[in-house]
Chains A and B, each alone.
Chain A
Amino acid sequence: MKKILRTYLPFVANEVKTQLAYRGAFYLWAFISLFSSFISYFLWMAIYGSSESGVIGNLTQNEMVVYIFMVYITSSLVSISVSTWVGYDVVEGRVAMNLIKPIDYRASLIAQALGDMLYHLVVPSVFIWIGIEIYKVFVLGMPVISLPTLILYICSVLMSFLLYVLFDFCFGMLAFFTTYIFGLRMAKSALLSFLTGQLIPISLFPEVAQRIFDCLPFSSMIYTPVMIYLGKYTGAELAWAMGRQFVWVLLLYWGGSLIWKQVTKRLVVLGG
């Protein structure tokens, strides 16, 4: 364990340093995605204004506001695009170097992603989170988040992080087969924005679609932690939701190892 930490901690630290050096791009991304959160905010306000019942997909208007901005925080912590790094490594031939080093390529990527997550935690997530809590208590008149719920949310986010990164690693393997990953990346982010509940709470989908989503790993990435934050799961339901996250982490870990073995077997490196 100690050896693993000694090997991979430098990757974490290095990524935090890189992020600090090149923060411009990240601020831009954070700012633009905050834009779309505000678009959803206004859209949902209009939707609730036009609705008679006041509860849409099991969420009240106030809960929806919290949902929108917690989705923003959760996805900035969780959605770390490992596949982009894999893509660069493949195109520039660095993958060969990674194969001859006595480290596990995927573990080094996960460590690097962890560095990203830690950085995103400080800018801007914590500040926005404090903003949400203040808004919740003083404007919406909801109670402040309880400590047990917060701890459960953090545990769930950590699993979501692993889930996303392990999935994205598998996706990144496509870089070995095609050079133009841009179109595929766009398709991926469009599909994920849907299946993870980022665009619209999964409880708004028809019953059949929800059952299908239950069998996929994606709703565990964002929807589950945000619902836990909102206190929508209790008892057995909560255990089931987090258990499912855990099982998916194991499955994707195993699947990723399998794909990696297959891919490196047929890999031919031209220089690098």
Chain B
Amino acid sequence: MVHNLKRYWRLYKVLIKQFLKVVMQSKVDFLMGLLGFFLTQATGIIFLYLIFQQIPTLQGWTLDQLIFIYGFAQIPRGIDHLLTDNIWLVAWRMVVNGQFDRYMLRPMNVFFQVIAEKLQPDALGEILIGSILVIISVQKGVAAITPVSVLLFVVSMLAGALIYTSIKLFFASFALWIKQSGPLLQVAYEMAEFAKYPTEIYHKGIQFIITWVIPFAFVAYLPASFFLGKTGAGVIGIECVIALVFWCVAYGVFNYGLKFYESAGN
């Protein structure tokens, strides 16, 4: 087991090193991708700022608190985006054009091969902006910094990233049966947009879906409201349980799908 892990770690480093060489070759592209993400996030913040020129609080939330939630939402999204972006390609075209075959042929864990093939450097923009927003709002005193809260923050970021990965993997797995599941994945992934704001503002049905069916509320709004002192620490515990359950389901479906995989030809 230990031997196996060591082997995978060594392989991961080799594969990532190859990938970084490709990235360094096109620094301008990297910077432009970063600029794109940066502007997208900036517009979201200016939007909130303009709204708060009109109202004192949004259903009891202040601007600083909303900026905290907004920034908080970006970090797990960015972590997942950085590490597992290749899942998108599985959903959109790898199965259709037969590229997926080569994963099946190598004596290695298939999921490992999928994520080891690519790092998405654009995601650093999300992580960076998320961190900046969290730091700015914490400095304004929306959340207390204690050793325990910092620890829970890290745990929550990782669990949130795992929820993202699980949702992506779950919907991408359908490609193993129906060849292409990009549209499904895209729609599910876009649900995350709802979690950037306090979920109380939505209709009850939408609240239920983003809390329990596609649980993006547990990536951002719910854990963030613990750090803002609105709920107890239990919510982080539930987040971890949900992350594990969804991961097991997604990974199970993926492995089950591999048994049914038929090459689409090449």
Whether A183 pairs with B122 at a CB distance below 8 angstroms is: yes
Of all chain B residues, the one with the shortest Cβ separation from A185 is B36
Using Cβ atoms and an 8 Å threshold, which residues of chain B touch A193?
A: 43
Whether A204 pairs with B58 at a CB distance below 8 angstroms is: no
Using Cβ atoms and an 8 Å threshold, which residues of chain B touch A190?
A: 36, 39-40, 42-43
**Distance (whole angstroms) from the CB of B129 to the closest CB of chain A:** 12
With A and B bound together, what is the CA distance between A96 and B40 in angstroms? 34
Whether A46 pairs with B36 at a CB distance below 8 angstroms is: no
Using Cβ atoms and an 8 Å threshold, which residues of chain B touch A178?
A: 28-29, 32
A107 within 8 A of B: no
**Residue among B29, B51, B57, B186 facing the most chain A CB atoms (10 A cut-off):** B51
**Distance (whole angstroms) from the CB of B246 to the closest CB of chain A:** 21
Whether A180 pairs with B29 at a CB distance below 8 angstroms is: yes
Digitize B201-213: 1 where CB-to-A-CB distance is under 8 Å, 0 elsewhere.
1110010000000
Whether A57 pairs with B54 at a CB distance below 8 angstroms is: yes
Whether A50 pairs with B193 at a CB distance below 8 angstroms is: no
Digitize A159-193: 1 where CB-to-B-CB distance is under 8 Å, 0 elsewhere.
00000000000000000001110111111011101
Whether A47 pairs with B58 at a CB distance below 8 angstroms is: yes
B260 within 8 A of A: no
Whether A187 pairs with B183 at a CB distance below 8 angstroms is: no
Whether A56 pairs with B54 at a CB distance below 8 angstroms is: yes
Whether A51 pairs with B43 at a CB distance below 8 angstroms is: no
With A and B bound together, what is the CA distance between A45 and B206 in angstroms? 15
Whether B58 pairs with A183 at a CB distance below 8 angstroms is: no
**Distance (whole angstroms) from the CB of B218 to the closest CB of chain A:** 18
Whether A39 pairs with B194 at a CB distance below 8 angstroms is: yes
Using Cβ atoms and an 8 Å threshold, which residues of chain A touch B12?
A: none
Chain B contributes a number of interface residues (CB within 8 A of A) equal to 38
A19-77 with Cβ < 8 A to chain B: 24, 28, 31-32, 35-36, 38-39, 42-43, 45-47, 49-51, 56-57
Whether B36 pairs with A47 at a CB distance below 8 angstroms is: no
Whether B37 pairs with A50 at a CB distance below 8 angstroms is: no
**Distance (whole angstroms) from the CB of B181 to the closest CB of chain A:** 12
Whether B186 pairs with A186 at a CB distance below 8 angstroms is: no
Interface residue tally on A, bucketed by range: 35 or more
With A and B bound together, what is the CA distance between A49 and B42 in angstroms? 25
A43-B201, A184-B32 known, 15 other contacts, Cβ within 8 Å: A31-B187, A36-B190, A47-B51, A50-B55, A51-B55, A178-B32, A179-B29, A180-B32, A180-B33, A182-B33, A183-B34, A186-B33, A186-B39, A186-B40, A206-B53
Given known contacts A42-B203, A183-B122, is B36 in contact with A50 (CB within 8 Å)? no
Given known contacts A50-B58, A200-B50, is B29 in contact with A183 (CB within 8 Å)? yes
Of all chain B residues, the one with the shortest Cβ separation from A209 is B50
B266 within 8 A of A: no
A254 within 8 A of B: no
Using Cβ atoms and an 8 Å threshold, which residues of chain B touch A121?
A: none
**Distance (whole angstroms) from the CB of B93 to the closest CB of chain A:** 13
- A-B residue pair count with CB separations less than 8 angstroms: 95
Using Cβ atoms and an 8 Å threshold, which residues of chain A touch B5?
A: none
B179-224 with Cβ < 8 A to chain A: 183, 186-187, 190-191, 193-194, 197, 201-203, 206
**Distance (whole angstroms) from the CB of A199 to the closest CB of chain B:** 6
Identify which of B43, B56, B201 contacts A42 (C-beta below 8 A).
Answer: B201
**Residue among B34, B42, B190 facing the most chain A CB atoms (10 A cut-off):** B190
Given known contacts A28-B183, A46-B201, A190-B42, is B59 in contact with A182 (CB within 8 Å)? no
Whether A187 pairs with B201 at a CB distance below 8 angstroms is: no
Using Cβ atoms and an 8 Å threshold, which residues of chain A touch B193?
A: 35-36, 39
Digitize B158-192: 1 where CB-to-A-CB distance is under 8 Å, 0 elsewhere.
00000000000000000000000001001100110
A188-241 with Cβ < 8 A to chain B: 189-191, 193-194, 199-200, 204-206
With A and B bound together, what is the CA distance between A193 and B40 in angstroms? 9
**Distance (whole angstroms) from the CB of B104 to the closest CB of chain A:** 27
**Distance (whole angstroms) from the CB of B146 to the closest CB of chain A:** 31
Whether A46 pairs with B59 at a CB distance below 8 angstroms is: yes
B46 within 8 A of A: yes
Of all chain B residues, the one with the shortest Cβ separation from A186 is B36
With A and B bound together, what is the CA distance between A70 and B108 in angstroms? 52
With A and B bound together, what is the CA distance between A197 and B203 in angstroms? 25
B16-68 with Cβ < 8 A to chain A: 26, 28-29, 31-37, 39-40, 42-43, 46-47, 50-51, 53-59
With A and B bound together, what is the CA distance between A12 and B190 in angstroms? 32
Using Cβ atoms and an 8 Å threshold, which residues of chain A touch B190?
A: 32, 35-36
**Residue among B34, B55, B203 facing the most chain A CB atoms (10 A cut-off):** B55
Of all chain A residues, the one with the shortest Cβ separation from B36 is A186
Whether A204 pairs with B54 at a CB distance below 8 angstroms is: yes
Of all chain B residues, the one with the shortest Cβ separation from A182 is B33
Whether B203 pairs with A184 at a CB distance below 8 angstroms is: no
